[in-house]
Structures are given as C-alpha cells and as structure tokens.
C-alpha cells in the first residue's frame, strides 16, 4: 500500500476502464425529472376538448338549441348580450327562458 500522507485517497480511473455508471445514472435521473416536469406542466395547462361546454349553463344552452349550428348559437348569445346588456352566462339563461316561454305559449 502506498502512503500519501492524507486520510482520504482519491482514486481515479483512466477513460475506457469499466462501464460509465455515472452517465447511466445521470441519464435516468434527467429522464425522471423531465417526465415529472412534463406531467406537472400538462396538468397545469390542461385544456378541455374543443366541443366540450365550459359551464352547466352552456351545456344546457347547447342542449336546448341543439338543432342550431354553432354560428347561429353564438349569434343568439351576442343578440341577448346586446339586448339586455349582460354577460355571456346571463344571455344564455335569458335565451333559454325566452325559448321556454315560447314553448309554453304554444302548448
């Protein structure tokens, strides 16, 4: 045994001697960290599918006016927003109320 005068003796190996385990560990750790970041960000920025309604009011509005195409429904919402000077949710409620009154009047 060689005496160096130090309590800690650092042993280095020459390149190519043995398998580079440090690189394997670094790659596995970086993949795990990358996956965790991807998962966290995908949960944070999750969006709803394009056709899925945003609220219960919108879902009910789409059911009541299901025979209309999307452009006509949006036009109806804009009409009620301008007519009653209200937000989108209230305009959908008013349109459904008006539709219900018309249906009750003729039944």
Residue 71 has pLDDT above 80, yes or no: yes
**Helices of type H across the chain:** 21-44, 56-64, 70-84, 88-105
What is the tens place of the pLDDT at every residue in 33-53? 999 998 888 877 776 666 666
- State the pLDDT at residue 7: 67
How far are the Cα atoms of 3, 17, 65, 74, 106 from residue 71, in angstroms, in the given order? 86, 70, 12, 5, 27
Average pLDDT over residues 95-104: 92
3-class SS string, 38-52: HHHHHHHCCCCCCCC
């Amino acid at each position: 045994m060689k005496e160096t005068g130090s309590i800690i003796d650092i042993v280095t190996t020459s390149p190519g001697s043995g398998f580079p385990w440090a690189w394997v560990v670094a790659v596995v750790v970086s993949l795990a960290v990358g996956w965790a970041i991807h998962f966290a960000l995908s949960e944070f920025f999750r969006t709803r599918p394009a056709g899925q309604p945003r609220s219960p009011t919108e879902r009910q509005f789409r059911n009541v006016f299901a025979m209309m195409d999307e452009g006509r429904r949006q036009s109806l919402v804009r009409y009620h927003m301008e007519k009653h000077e209200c937000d989108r949710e209230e305009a959908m409620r008013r349109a459904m109320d008006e539709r219900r009154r018309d249906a009750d009047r003729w039944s």
